[in-house]
A and B are shown apart, each in its own frame.
Chain A
Amino acid sequence: MNRILEYSHVTKQFGSLCALQDVSLTVEPGHIVGLLGPNGSGKTTLLKIASGLLVPTSGTVSICGLPVGPESKSRISYLPDKNYLSDWMKVSQIIDLFHDFYLNFDRNKAYEMLQRLDISPKQKLKTLSKGTREKVQLILVMSRNADLYLLDEPIGGVDPAARDYILQTILTNYNEQGSILISTHLISDVEQVLDQVIFLKNGVITLQSSVDDIRAQYEKSVDELFREVFQC
């Protein structure tokens, strides 16, 4: 089977801190994978390396068999855990920008989602609340017909009602032939949508398994197992 994403012996060092240590993993098409771990476990670093925002100290990453580069970036839709849009821009200008650069961007889908959320395309980002800006980012990311969605803490820092909306938006808009790698530490909220999980602890993968196997093998939910593994 073709692999959408493959990390091979990836290590990332920040000075003396080892953020990722000899990480190898694969993600296959059509899967929703939860990248689970406590804060500082290396989840964001892992996603940034695949997005091309960080260069690994050693090891390789390939996306649909391609090394990280312009080709791979055209296939990845990445949602960072921070505001990465210029706040002087209008929502419509950002949509134009995405449409210009990403061939797989569906402008109509973006406008439909904006309308459903009652966000005016004429508004400048700086006039929007933090939560609305995050929704705009999510709309942009999910309006792409990408092979791989890398979502970094998409439900972190929002209220439970917004979490449901975000998860619903992800599930109803992603390209089902592709895969989603979603990083979070809010396991119970995402557990029902995941096919697979990866546990990351201090930059090391401690578990990679399907959700069904976890339930069968450990007779526990992912959330319960997570709490057990990462008990303080």
Chain B
Amino acid sequence: MLGKLLKKDFRSTYRFFLPLMGGYTIAAAVGKILFEIVLSVLDSAGHTSALSEGIAIFSVFYLIICVIYLVACYLMTSVFVVYDFYKTMVSDDGYLTHTLPVRTSTLICSKTLIAVMWQIVVNLIISLSFLLIFTGHFSQLPVKYFFKYFASSWNMDSFAYGIYSVLNILVESFQRPLLFFACIAIGQQWKNHRILGAILAYIGISIATQIINTIAIIMTGVSSLYQDFTLSGYMLYSLIFGIITTVGFYLVSDYMLSKKLNLE
């Protein structure tokens, strides 16, 4: 049944993500063309010509728009995931979702996997867009110096840092949607103000998580305030804390939607 649910959830979400990602891909491609034009104009016309100044100003504006679009992509990814979950799980469409012959845990797994997939797609497209922009100019970037500097200042191998970063991003990709799902699942207990309930649940869970996180950091001694602080230790701690909270959010969502479902 999970496969069928994934198909259903993919269908209901791709119509949001395809235009968003398609738009970003076009914006990145135009950015690359503009970037190359700016470089060639600067090389041939010099820095002070009116043409180069005009192109530079236009490029800066375009860059600002691209950055806003990039931030919007991240924000809209969460917005679409939340919207789809709310609509199909606790509003009128939930009447169909919850009468399908599947377990609540399978419903949540499907929603989570689809949300993770879209986050990975968004991250990949954005990363590829940066690669595209700098293609042909990598030799001019101080990549080697950066890795050398990084290793010496943080006392951590850049490869290990990369692995930890990928794992943390992966855990966060599960954690973020499951936090939203847990909040919506709690919010549906309210009869009339479900969205407000979900927002209050979000605030409450965020505060509680921060408090627990702070206490745990102090107790485990991974804070940068301590002399024996290491980045690898902190990243390992983040990973473990992320996994624990992710499991917690999943259990809350499952409990609230299976034992306390309230589709009034």
Contact = CB atoms under 8 A, between A and B. Distances in A.
A232 interface: no
Contacts of A15: 191
Nearest to B88: A86
Interface string B86-101: 0110001111101111
B148 interface: no
Contacts of B209: none
A21 B1 CA distance: 36
B124 interface: no
Interface in A38-84: 48, 51-55, 69-71, 73-74, 76, 78, 80, 82-84
A97 interface: yes
A14 to B, nearest CB: 7
B215 to A, nearest CB: 34
B98 A53 contact: yes
B30 to A, nearest CB: 30
A52 B15 contact: no
A74 B7 CA distance: 19
Nearest to B259: A55
A100 B2 CA distance: 11
A25 interface: no
A71 B95 contact: no
B47 interface: no
Contacts of A55: 259-262
Q: Select the residue from A14, A15, A83, A101 with max chain B CB neighbours within 10 A.
A: A101
A226 interface: no
Contacts of B8: 97, 100
Nearest to A140: B96
Contact of A73 (B12, B100, B259): B100
B102 interface: yes
B51 interface: no
A230 interface: no
A102 B8 CA distance: 14
Contact of B95 (A69, A76, A82, A102): A82
A15 B191 CA distance: 9
A14 B263 contact: no
A207 interface: no
B153 to A, nearest CB: 51
B92 A83 contact: yes
Interface in B2-37: 4, 7-8, 11-12, 15
A158 interface: no
Contact of B263 (A48, A71, A88): A48
A133 to B, nearest CB: 12
A85 interface: yes
Contacts of B4: 100-101
A191 B2 CA distance: 42
Contacts of B43: none
A86 B261 contact: no
Q: Select the residue from B11, B15, B94, B191 with max chain A CB neighbours within 10 A.
A: B11
Nearest to A76: B99
Given A54-B264, A82-B95, 11 more contacts: A52-B98, A54-B263, A55-B261, A73-B100, A78-B95, A80-B95, A84-B96, A86-B88, A93-B11, A101-B1, A101-B100
Interface of A: 14-15, 48, 51-55, 69-71, 73-74, 76, 78, 80, 82-86, 88, 93, 97, 100-102
24 contacts: A14-B191, A52-B98, A53-B261, A53-B263, A54-B262, A55-B260, A55-B262, A69-B103, A70-B1, A70-B101, A73-B100, A73-B102, A74-B101, A78-B99, A80-B95, A84-B92, A84-B95, A84-B96, A86-B87, A86-B88, A86-B93, A93-B11, A97-B8, A101-B102
Interface of B: 1, 4, 7-8, 11-12, 15, 87-88, 92-96, 98-103, 191, 259-264
